[in-house]
Amino acid sequence: MSKELSIPNEVIIKRIHAVRGQKVMLDRDLAELYGVETKRLKEAVRRNIDRFPEDFMFEMTKEELAHWRSQIASSNPSDKMGLRYPPFCFTEYGILMLSSVLGSDKAIAVNIQIIKTFVELRKLANNYQEIMKKIEKMESQYSQQFQEIYQVLQRLIEKPKDPPRKPVGYKK
């Protein structure tokens, strides 16, 4: 295998999108990372379409593409963001399969980096979920104590009611 590529994780993360509730990368972004034309990448996928079931790769519908475009702000309303046709969306499994379809050393090296980035994102998501569970557990354990503290603080903050004042001055 050729020398290992060094693409910053941020470059890859910026190209991961949520479509149909899945994290995917678009054909044009992958083609750019692999150093091939999007047209050639799509040709290779179509020639080996049996390797790409729906959970590996799917084509965005025109409605999804319109919605996706509306979610991404663009200063030029006529700009189609380089997309004339609905793109292929590759899940993590589809990206793995792409290296076998493209077969170049660069594709393999890029795929390794992309998969490592997906794994890092999954670890971060798991850590986030663990932290949220711990916070929820702490809230439930200490909710009664916090409630009591809150009530005491409320009493301290409240303005004391003035006792009825005796009239000042001379009585007739």
At 15-49, the pLDDT tens digits run 888 888 889 999 999 999 888 889 989 999 999 99
Angstrom distance (rounded) from CA 53 to CA 17: 19
Report pLDDT digits (tens) over 102-139: 877 787 788 888 888 888 888 887 777 787 777 777 76
Residues 71-105 have pLDDT tens digits of 665 544 444 455 677 899 999 889 888 878 887 77
This model's pTM is above 0.75: no
Distance CA 172, CA 93 (A): 97
Please report how many Cα atoms fall inside a 13 Å half-sphere around the Cα of residue 123, on the Cβ side: 6
Q: Where are the domains of the chain?
A: 9-128
CA–CA separation, 96 vs 56, rounded Å? 9
b/e 131-151 (16+ beta carbons within 10 angstroms → b) = eeeeeeeeeeeeeeeeeeeee
Place of tokens 């899945």: 22
First and final CA of the chain: distance in angstroms?
A: 110
Return the sign of the alpha-carbon dihedral for residues 89, 90, 91, 94: positive
